[in-house]
Every structure is written in C-alpha cells, then in structure tokens.
Structure 1
Amino acid sequence: MLADRSRRALYDYVRHQDHPVGRDEAADATGMSRGLAAFHLDKLVEGGLLRAGYQTPAGQPRGRGRTPKVYEPAGDGVAVTVPERRYELIAEILADAVAADPDDSARAAERLAQERGQAVGSGLRGRATPVEVLVDLGYEPAPQPDRILLRNCPFHALAARQTALVCGLNLAFLRGLTRGLDADLDALLVPAPGACCVQLRWGQSTALPYISPSGSAISSTRAPSGS
C-alpha cells in the first residue's frame, strides 16, 4: 500500500498533522493534483491506514453545500511501522543487564540504558541537532516553544506489555542522550495517548528534579555519573 511514492507522501503528511486533513490541503502539501490526492487518500482508507470523515478543515470558514471530506490516521490498530521500531536496542540493554547483574537486572538495565544513550549522544555531538538525532532514532519529534513532543515510541509493542519497565528505560536512554549531546534539555515522563511517554523540555537542566525509572528522586536534574 505504501510502495507508491505519492501515496506514501500523502500518508506521511496526514499522520504528522494535529488535525484532520482535507483533500485540498493534502494536494497542496505534496504537490499533486486534487484529483490524484483524493484517489490515493481513498485508497489509504480502503487499506486501513487512514480513516475518513466529513468536517470543515481547520482554518477554513464553513460554507454552503456538502461538508468536505477529511482524513486522519487510523491509529495503533494498524500493523504498520513508520518509522521503524527499535526493539533490538531494548533487547541488547536487557540482555547485557541480566549478564552484568542477575540479582538486580532492572537497576543494571537502567544504568546501561543511560550509558547507551550518552554514548550515542556523544558520538553525534556537534554533528547533528537534537531534533535530527531524535528523527533518526524514530521518535518523530515535534518541536514546541518550550519542549519537544515525541509522537512515536520506538518501543511501542514492548511498552504496551511492560509499561513501567520499558518507559523507565526509555527515560534513562533519553536522559543519557541529552547529556551526550550536551543539550539544554530534560527528559520527563509525561504519558499521553498516541505518543511517546517521554517529553523533552528546553532550558530545564537546573530547574527540575531527576526522577529515576524506579521512582526515586535525586536532588539534581541530571542523573549522577554512573547511575
């Protein structure tokens, strides 16, 4: 369904918007005719990747006649991974944690996740912006004036099964990543439907307490070295 380049472009555009998208908007955004955009959008609905409804598109006054058709993502029920998931990262961290400390593998996994994130960030420091790094890691970042929202969880299926464990490791990884990048960002657990459980907030590196995945608070925002 997504092998067609035009169809993939439309799908990517619709799923990155925070509102239902009309045919005119989708056509303008992807540089194709309205008729071709409508054809591909309806094919995506038939394939279960989008759902359609009727309402006045955002920012347009309601006029006479039939309400325009709009499209939005079908949701988590669709088995499509765009962007790719990164389950191997969690698997490697957990396997190394069990090998390193069988008696307290959860704490070892938290430490290793942060170390792994810091190593990734350090390797990319000065070569890419935090947003570019997050894009490459599959988080689908949405920068806001005071924070970076993460629309996608690269560990979605595992987080659904073991929420506390996986979200805790995700938090530790992102804290390590921001340290490695030397970015003025703090990672916080902010669970929200249809998004990653972590948000990154700008300029909070000295204002917020660090909350470890195990739930204990540490006086400084940044986790102590080696924790």
Structure 2
Amino acid sequence: MPDRWTAVAALADPSRRALYDHVRHQDHPVTREEAADAAGISRGLAAFHLDKLVDAGLLRARYQAPSDQPRGRGRSPKVYEPAGDGLAVTVPERRYELIAEILADAVVDDPAHADDAARRLAGQRGRSLGAGLAEDGCDVLSALGGLGFEPRPDAQRRVLLHNCPFHALATRHTALVCGLNHAFLTGLLDGLGAADVEARLAPRPGACCVELNLPS
C-alpha cells in the first residue's frame, strides 16, 4: 500500500496523472513507448514520470519481452502495470473500509446474529491491529493518531478523540457504528498492552463517540 500523501504528490503533475490513468485502463502491461504515445510526450519524459509513479507505489515495473521476440534476442523492454487497489484520501481521515470489512465478515460468520458477530469481530480486529502496532513501538496516542482519531489528552486524564473515522456511517446508524467503534478501540487498547486505559462511550457533536480514561 503506497503512502497516500506521497502518491497524491506524485499525481499532482498532469502528464504523470495522464500516464497513470492510461496504465490503469489497459488490460496488458504498458511499455514506455506506448505510454509516451498515449500522453503525447517524449519517450524519455514518459520514462521519467513512469518511474516516479513506481517510486510512489502506484505502479509496478518489470522487464518483459514482446510475444513475437525470439528468446534471448535483444533487451526486453520495461513495462508498467498498476500496483495495489487504488488510492483514497480524505481530510479529515475516514476509514469506511474497516467498518465494511467487519460487517461483511460478520454476515458471513454468523448471519443470524450478525450484530453480535460484528462487535466480536471489531474487538478482534482492534486487538490484532494493536498488537502489530505495539511491535512497531507505537504507544496509545501514536496508534490512535495513525488511525485518524486525532487524540488530545486533557487535564482530567482523558484522551478526547476529535475525529470520527466513520463519521458518515455513524451519523446514519449511530448505535451500530458507535458500538463497533467502542469494541474496536477496546480491542486496540488490549492489543497495545494498555488494558488499564478505559474506552467508554461519550458522544460529542462533531467528534468521536468514544473517549479514553487514563489510569490515575
């Protein structure tokens, strides 16, 4: 998965964006010559931009001989193809795919009791993610910040979460989404080894429905 802001910066150039769009819409790996013709630029400039897109994690590159080229005859051209599932950037940060994955897994896992299964799976997902972040050296605040919750400690030994990564869904299905969020954050804290930090539901307008209470 490419760093999103690096990828956004890479696509700021119109020629580079046109090359990326062309490669994504093809059903075959694209050579530098084909990309240059499609964008109406020189082969050298196309090669420069294509390699920048590779550096940003948006394309993959490899060498592939044309099907009509005899084996061992000449150098294989460099070809490009899309990398990953695409790119989505929101400000403030949203993570709707996380809720979607939990709900889809819950329906498959226990369709007759999908709501209970979703809360259980949300806790498991948070716990697994927290354990991985702990191995990377993240503490509670850095983990929450990286997930887009915008945590800010206050003088009352609370951590207020100023952004809800599930905002639009929470507005429409408050009880369901806030319950999943609470289960996810409880699991996340457990995975981080911060079980003494309490996640509790405390809805505030325009912010996350969960706040954290730090140990005294």
Deviation at 1:155, TM superposition (A): 0.1
Name the residue aligned to 1:167: 178
Which residue of 2 is the match for residue 96 of structure 1? 105
Letter in 2 for 1:147: R
Amino acid at match of 1:159: A
Mapped to 2, the partners of 1:90 and 1:202 lie a distance apart of: 26
Q: Tell me what 1:115 maps to.
A: 124
For the residue of structure 1 that corresponds to 2:178, the secondary structure is helix
**TM-score under structure 1 normalisation?**
0.53
Residues 63-74 of structure 1 mapped to structure 2, 5 A cutoff: none
| Counterpart pick for 2:192 among 159, 178, 181 | 181
Q: Output aligned runs, 1:9-48, within 5 Å.
A: none
Counterpart secondary structure, 1:138? coil
Superposed counterparts of 1:141-152, under 5 Å: 141-145=151-155, 146-152=157-163
Q: Find the residue that maps to 2:189 and give its secondary structure.
A: helix
Confirm whether residue 136 of structure 1 aligns to residue 146 of structure 2: yes
Equivalent AA in structure 2 for residue 128 of structure 1:
C
User: Offset at 1:106?
Assistant: 0.1
Could you tell me which residue of structure 2 aligns to residue 194 of structure 1?
A: 206
Q: Counterparts of 1:84 and 1:159 in 2: how far apart (Å)?
A: 14
Q: Where does residue 79 of structure 2 map in the other structure? A: none
Q: How many residues align?
A: 126
RMSD, matched Cα: 1.6
Q: Which has the larger radius of gyration?
A: 2
Displacement of 1:143: 1.3
For residues 15-43 of structure 1, what are the alpha-carbon distances to aligned partners after superposition, in whole Å with 9 as ceiling and x for unaligned?
xxxxxxxxxxxxxxxxxxxxxxxxxxxxx
CA apart distance, 1:82: 1.8
For 2:145, the aligned partner's letter is V
Supply the AA of the counterpart residue of 2:170. Answer: A
Please give the alpha-carbon distance, in whole angstroms, between the structure 1 residues aligned to 2:97 and 2:112. 23
Q: Which runs of 5+ in 1 are unaligned?
A: 4-79, 205-227
Please list every run of 5 or more consecutive structure 2 residues that lacks an aligned counterpart in the other structure. Answer: 1-11, 13-88
